[in-house]
Amino acid sequence: MQFENIYTIDEMRSIAKRRLPRIVFDYIDGGAGDEQGLDTNARQFRNFRLVPRYLVDVSNRTQKTTVFGREYSSMFGVAPTGYAGFFRPGGEKMLARAALDNGIPYMQSGSSVASVEEIGQIAPGNSWFQLYAARDPATSDDILRRAADAGVETAAITIDLPVLGPRPRDSRSGWRVPLRMTPKVILDGLRHPAWSWGYLMDGGLPKMGNWAPYAGEGASAMEIAQFMRSNVCSTQLWSDIERYRRNWKGNLVLKGILHHDDARRAADAGVDGILVSNHGGRQFERAPAPIEVLPGIVEAVGSRLTVMMDSGISQGVDMLIAYALGAKFVFVGRATAWGVIAGGVEGTNRAIAILKGQVDTAMGQIGCNSPAELVDATLVKTN
């Protein structure tokens, strides 16, 4: 496929949809409950307008952004995408390679197929790691130790998964981990032979590399998946964050903050950054969109730590809006997921290029030369 002829993320999504069995596509595309959270995330971005400033020299635009002392080529990174190596064999490695080649960070999911050690070999120093805390704190601490040994400099602790949000779309389609090979699932696979062939040639259900060492010696892929499933929803307290801060010597980020008082407490706990996020609308359908609460959080703690955000960002202009409201960096998840599913590294490169192109064009159109200037951009909110 000639990916240079793909011009939007929606086109990339359509290609991925054709390739995937419906049960897998729905898992990636869907959200919690009635999926109002997905709609809210997108709608709140659409409610903003950026007012152009003309008669400005925009011939030397740059997207370069510095986060935690590292300069990146653009204002966004690749958000953690769970099971990417299931969606396409080697998916996390492809995402890590594409992010490295494009000069942006890759945040590896705690529920990835590839281990943190494997990603560390591909993108040393360029990968962040997202932790899903295990029920046993010793397991969480050991995963973070492995991440540090693999060269990870920034760890993001996911705090917004005390219980798993209901996903009726997944229940209707039959999605579960591990997948149950019902006649419906098998028929769905037969209708998508390219994906199914790749899945079978890769050995079927993959082992989740970050959880495998804790599921028991000789554990099968299914046993590892069941062990992971039993652990990813765990109660976390501020005392756990204090423990992470004591033990983790790199940059520590809390992912899932939506309340300004929680942001203040995170700053008091000594974390280096927060990721304002509602898990892409996948956990609690009535949570606010991050873009709605971002200004209040920036006002509360923006001078004390690095405030970033994800959830709902689907195009470059969304990033400009987030920066205008005070974000210092953003992450995109589904956009790059569609890219890797549609075309591996090539598809991911194209998705990143599309987003970078949209950022560059929008900056030129509003009279802005760098992300730092966006704090002075004029926004109009329509609702």
- Per residue in 305-363, pLDDT (tens digit) is 999 999 999 999 999 999 999 999 999 999 999 999 999 999 999 999 999 999 999 99
User: Which value, to the nearest 10 degrees, does the dihedral of the CA atoms of residues 18, 40, 233, 206 take?
Assistant: 10
pLDDT score recorded for residue 382: 87
> Which carries the bigger pLDDT value, residue 118 or residue 2?
118
* pLDDT, tens only, 118-166: 999 999 899 999 999 999 999 999 999 999 999 999 999 999 988 888 8
Confidence of residue 178 (pLDDT cuts 50, 70, 90): low
On whether the CB atoms of residues 341 and 90 are closer than 8 A, the answer is: no
CATH number at residue 158: 3.20.20.70
Q: How many CA atoms lie within 13 A of 119 on its CB side?
A: 37
On whether the CB atoms of residues 359 and 75 are closer than 8 A, the answer is: yes
Tell me which residue range forms the domain holding 285. Answer: 3-381
On whether the CB atoms of residues 288 and 257 are closer than 8 A, the answer is: no
At residue 233, the 3 state secondary structure works out as coil
Q: Where are the alpha helices (DSSP H) in the chain?
A: 9-19, 22-29, 36-46, 84-87, 91-101, 116-122, 137-149, 168-173, 183-190, 193-201, 221-231, 238-247, 260-268, 290-301, 316-324, 334-366
Instruction: Please state, rounded to an integer, the average pLDDT across all residues of the chain.
Output: 93
Catalytic residue flag (residue 279): yes
DSSP state of 123: S
Please count the structural domains in the chain: 1
At residue 270, the 3 state secondary structure works out as coil
Is the pLDDT at 235 greater than 90? The verdict is no
Q: Is 380 exposed, middle or buried (0-12, 13-18, 19+ CB in 10 A)?
A: exposed
- Give this prediction's pTM: 0.94
Is the pLDDT at 182 greater than 80? The verdict is no
Is the pLDDT at 383 greater than 80? The verdict is no
pLDDT score recorded for residue 336: 97
Relative orientation angle of helices 9-19 and 22-29, to the nearest 10 degrees: 150
Please give the single-letter amino acid code of residue 271: V
> Which carries the bigger pLDDT value, residue 234 or residue 4?
4
Confidence of residue 184 (pLDDT cuts 50, 70, 90): confident
pLDDT score recorded for residue 214: 94
Is the pLDDT at 374 greater than 80? The verdict is yes
Backbone φ and ψ of 196, nearest 5°: -65, -40
pLDDT score recorded for residue 179: 66
Question: Which whole number is the average pLDDT over 27-56?
Answer: 92
**Could you say which of 192, 259, 260, 279 is catalytic?**
279
pLDDT score recorded for residue 342: 96
Q: Are strands 273-276 and 251-257 parallel, antiparallel or unpaired?
A: parallel
To which residue do tokens 């001078």 refer? 303
pLDDT score recorded for residue 161: 87
